[in-house]
Amino acid sequence: MQEALIDLSRTIDLATLGDRVRAARLRAGLTQAQVAADTMSVGYISRIESGSRRPDPTLLETIAERLGVTVDELLVGVSPDRMLELRVMLDHAELALGTGSPQAALEPLARILSDPQTESVPDLRRRASYLQASALEGTGDLEAAIMLLEDLAESGQQDLQWLTGLTTLCRCYRISGELGRAIEIGNRGIRFIQEHGLEGLDEAIRHTLSMSSAYFEQGDTGYAARLCRRAIERAEETASPIARASAYWNLSVMESERGNAELALPMTERALRILESTEESQNIPRLRSQLGMIQLRTDPPTPEDALEILTRAGHELAFTGAAPTEVAINRLGQARARFLMGELPQARILADETVEETRNSAPVLAAEGLALLGQVAALDEGAPTARTYFHEAVLLLSGVGADQAVAQLWFELAGLLEGVGDMEAALDAYRRAGASTGLVRPVAVPQRDYVR
């Protein structure tokens, strides 16, 4: 018997071992006398099964052989072959998540978590549970992801895996509009980071960035930007290239949304250079899209350069199997570039495709597409048709919650409605926009895309 198994045989809970011996004997269809044979007494087997006797390691090997199982199954609960199979399934699920295929990860994870044998391997089940939460988030099932992550957050074991789970929960809360909860769970993670001196670790930096995004969405834009700058300082000292790129990426999104496109542009370019030096291929096209959209925000904008970058990123997103929303964000950026270049028919086609694909799944993005269609119509068909698009955008936007992105779009719609002479609707949109802070000059570019 391996030394590790000998040590485990001396420390394993006797009731657990007894239950496994009894279950294996019943599966084999043997009596206690048949297991005992001529090398031990029936009473010895009975006391093992009742949890009142710890067997000698050598006799435990004999018992396992007669039961037709391995010692691992009695001590660990899973045979070595099954354990290897489970770990391979976990690795495949993690690979599927890493390559942008969360749906493909759900099936093997469900098989692992529904297997009663894995109850005896809590570390494996815990890892599978966190992966399942990430897969659920990736498929858009935020409610199920949040419920699972809330349970995991209350588990007794607090380590880096637990912190990463808090980061995911913070992000899920933010995406679902529960900004107060996102900040609360974010601060819980920050306390853990500070108590254990983990500030320079990648996991800590990612957590800080996730919480800063929630503060930004809530309207506390200055504090959010400062959190990102502190994360950059720590990342430059100790963190991996991916964590450094993430910090620059998030700050570039915030500065762009605050109207500081000229500050955001070099940060995005730096983040892209860092990512391109790694093997993080999944995030490169998303960041390239962000770069193109920031170029549309500069004063003056550079739509030709932006279109070239956005088109390249669009091909990359399709190749890497990106989420439909990410593809739609890129397409709307291309539409905006075409509009600024005066290519109205092409802009209309791209914006119309975006609206049709996101009307039900991403209403804010669809409203941005309708706003752009209204701008195209104002130049091509006249104010009445433009007003129709703007009013449709207002209807869509009225059904979503209030955050910085929504407020910015209300502000833009107000200016557009004013431009086509609909002063009553414009005044209402301005009032809605005024409920939030940090608004910048109106632009019709897609919603922000923080790094994950």
- 18-69: pLDDT as tens digits: 988 998 899 899 999 999 998 899 999 999 999 999 998 889 989 989 998 8
- pLDDT value of position 436: 47
**Is residue 108 in some structural domain?**
yes
In this structure, is residue 167 part of a structural domain?
no
Q: Measuring CA to CA, which residue among 383, 285, 374, 362 is closest to residue 335? A: 374
Last residue within a domain, chosen from 55, 75, 95: 75
Whole-prediction pTM: 0.71
Residue 363 is assigned to a structural domain of this protein: no
- Taking the C-alpha atoms of residue 403 and residue 220, their distance in angstroms, rounded to an integer, is 11
| Structural domain includes residue 131 | yes
CA distance 74 to 61: 10
At 401, the pLDDT band (50, 70, 90 cuts) reads low
List the one residue out of 284, 294, 231 whose CA is nearest residue 257. Answer: 294
Residue 443 has pLDDT above 50, yes or no: no
The pLDDT score that the predictor gives to residue 452 is 58
Q: Mean pLDDT over residues 358-368, rounded?
A: 90
* Cα-only R_g, the chain: 28
- Residue 259: what residue type? G
pLDDT at 79: 65
Q: pLDDT tens digits for 203-262? A: 999 999 999 999 998 889 999 999 999 999 999 988 789 899 999 999 999 998 888 999
Looking at the structure of the chain, the number of domains it has is: 2
Q: Is the pLDDT of residue 123 over 60?
A: yes
- 128: Cα within 13 Å, side-chain hemisphere: 23
Q: Count the neighbouring beta carbons within 10 Å of the beta carbon of residue 151.
A: 12
296 in a domain, yes or no? no
Assess whether pLDDT exceeds 80 at residue 398. Answer: yes
CA distance 235 to 225: 15
Residue 321 sits at φ, ψ, to 5 deg, of: 70, 45
Residue in this structure with the two tokens 């200055």, named with its chain if needed: 222
**pLDDT value for 446:** 41
Provide mean pLDDT across the span 116-125. 78
Last residue of a domain, one of 112, 135, 158: 135
Residue 170 inside a domain? The answer is no
Q: Which residue has the higher pLDDT, 429 or 92?
A: 92
DSSP 8-class letter at 54:
P
Percent of the chain with pLDDT over 70: 93
Where helices occur in 239-362 by DSSP H, the ranges are 241-257, 261-276, 284-295, 303-319, 324-340, 344-358
Does residue 261 contact residue 294 with C-beta atoms inside 8 Å? yes
Residue 20 lies in a domain: yes
Q: Evaluate if residue 404 carries a pLDDT over 90.
A: no
Q: How far apart are CA 247 and CA 233, in angstroms?
A: 9
Q: Which of 437, 441, 370, 372 is nearest to 402 (CA)?
A: 437
Model confidence at 439: pLDDT above 50: no
Confidence of residue 437 (pLDDT cuts 50, 70, 90): very low
Identify the CATH number of the domain in which residue 25 sits: 1.10.260.40
Q: For residues 61 and 92, state if they share a domain.
A: no
Q: 66 and 22 in one domain?
A: yes
Expressed as residue numbers, the domain containing 102 is 80-135
**Do 44 and 101 fall within a single domain?**
no
Number of other residues whose CB lies within 10 A of the CB of residue 95: 12
At residue 444 the predicted structure's pLDDT band, cuts being 50, 70 and 90, is very low
First-to-last alpha carbon distance for the chain, in angstroms, is: 45
Distance CA 205, CA 245 (A): 11
Within a domain: 172: no
Where is the domain boundary, 135, 155, 171? 135
For residues 58 and 106, state if they share a domain: no
Cis-peptide, bond into residue 300, ω within 30° of zero: yes
Residues 34 and 67 both lie in one domain = yes
Confidence (pLDDT) at 313: 95
Res. 326 pLDDT band, cuts 50 70 90: confident
Q: Which residue has the tokens 């995991």?
A: 152
Q: Which of 71-80, 104-113, 361-370 has the lowest mean pLDDT?
A: 71-80
Sign, CA dihedral 415-416-421-427, equals: negative
Specify the pLDDT at position 435: 59
Q: Give the tens place of pLDDT for each residue, 150-192.
A: 999 998 789 999 999 999 999 999 988 889 999 999 999 999 9
Q: What is the overall mean pLDDT for the chain?
A: 88
